[in-house]
Amino acid sequence: MKMKQAGQKIVVLTSYDASFTRVIEAAGVDVILVGDSLGMVVQGQESTLPVRVEDMVYHTQNVARARRRCLLVADMPFMSYSSVEQALSTAGCLMKEGGAHMVKLEGGATQLKTVEQLADHGIPVCAHLGLLPQSVHKLGGYRVQGRDQESAAVMKEDALSLQNVGAQMLVLECVPTGLAAEISALLDIPVIGIGAGVDCDGQVLVIYDMLGISGEEYLPRFVKNFMPTADSIQGAVANYVEAVRTGHFPGDEQSFS
């Protein structure tokens, strides 16, 4: 919150183990996300949907053991927060057993009651709007969200409502740059973009993607490989940190209109 108020860009990267966590912290990253993206980049799944709560707890524990400074956020996996009671149980596991400081869940208006209850129980929540990987089949694929006036208005309303019920951070994924800028200006909480343009309060990428080692045949447009201009993994992460801090990442080629 202080960084947003001061106009300082927030740098976020995913990590799933102790070794990468040490590299990330040494490079000056602010927030580590233990993402359910591990289903694809670690487990080799076709989507994030098969990831279990047990998987998320295990990888969050790995990161928590090495973390010394970063805020640690953990994803709530698919179908682990279908009810308020289930959400409280999942979040409890990720925080008590995993060591997370904050949990992240996907969805807008349908998640307001859940976010409110989590916040009321002292659980910090990061919301997630735009492209929702856990709803990829319902959305009809990996597509930019909020391009028409109606869906953009709904996203802005959802973002404000999520903040009002207690969300303390918001991720916007695959959202047009102009809309993401409007939402970032509208909210008091930090807005972290991934494929949402340079005007968000911060940026997040999957670490294997920005190192060019994810093994995916097709990488999203919002990904940039920082390894070709670095002499080490540490150097690549440091270059990512600098690019986010100075507003050089994302560029137009990693953004959507």
Q: Which residues are catalytic?
A: 173
Buried b (16+ CB within 10 A) or exposed e, 29-59: bbbbbbbbbbbbbbeeeebbbebebebbbeb
Spatial separation of the C-alpha atoms in residues 231 and 253, rounded to whole Å: 24
Q: Are the CB atoms for 244 and 8 separated by under 8 Å?
A: no
> Which residue do the tokens 């009810």 mark?
83
Spatial separation of the C-alpha atoms in residues 180 and 172, rounded to whole Å: 7
Q: Parallel, antiparallel, or unpaired for β 31-34 and 71-75? A: parallel
Spatial separation of the C-alpha atoms in residues 14 and 34, rounded to whole Å: 6
